[in-house]
Amino acid sequence: MDTPAKNHIGRKISRIRELKGMKQEALAVALGVSQQTVSNLESSEELDEKRLKEIAEALGVSKEAIENFSEEGVINYFNSFNEADFSNSQGVSFGAFGHNHCTFNPLDKLIEVYEEKEKLYERLLEAEKSKVEYLEKILNKPIQ
């Protein structure tokens, strides 16, 4: 029979969240609750079925994955790959639960794209100014 520590659903949720690289604040936003509420949930030995399903969805795992989670299972899972690298250069890796998760901050990427857009706009503006100057030069040139 499992010991109470092994069945502590809050600890399992906390560990899965950590393995997925998610902070309590991010889980709180996904659940529409405060970070303190997530902290309280992770301290709970048991949760009702509805709440457990919501948390599982927010973590991108099944309810059963949370209920059956074990550190030994995770270690065995990763060891089964013989240290093969399944990550790619796009910043996406494949997690222990079969779901993709970002290894970069989406906000940083958004800022990068915005700055690139600004640079492109400036280059377009310069090209247009250059065209206007060229056309003005042609129009102002005396006819021979």
Residue spans of the domains in the chain: they are: 4-100, 105-144
Per-residue tokens: 71: 């550190």
Q: Please state which CATH number belongs to domain 4-100.
A: 1.10.260.40
* 91 compared with 135, residue with greater pLDDT: 135
**Averaged pLDDT for residues 121-143:** 91
User: DSSP assignment of 31-56, as one string?
Assistant: HTS-HHHHHHHHH-S---HHHHHHHH
d(CA 91, CA 76): 24
* 60 compared with 144, residue with greater pLDDT: 60
Residue 142: count of CB within 10 angstroms of its CB: 4
Please give the pLDDT value at position 123: 94
d(CA 8, CA 104): 31
Q: In sequence order, which residues have a C-beta less than 8 Å from that of residue 129 and are 6 or more positions away?
A: none
Please give the pLDDT value at position 76: 65
Please give the pLDDT value at position 27: 92
44, β-bridge pairs: none
* 142 compared with 132, residue with greater pLDDT: 132
**Residue 45's Cα: distance from chain center in Å?**
27
Residue 113: count of CB within 10 angstroms of its CB: 10
Residue 16: count of CB within 10 angstroms of its CB: 23
Residue 129 has pLDDT above 80, yes or no: yes
φ/ψ region of 98 (left if φ > 0, alpha if ψ in -120 to 50, else beta) reads left
Please give the pLDDT value at position 94: 47
Write out pLDDT tens, residues 61-119: 888 888 888 877 766 666 665 545 444 444 444 444 444 555 667 777 888 888 999 99
Write out pLDDT tens, residues 39-66: 999 999 999 999 999 999 999 888 888 8
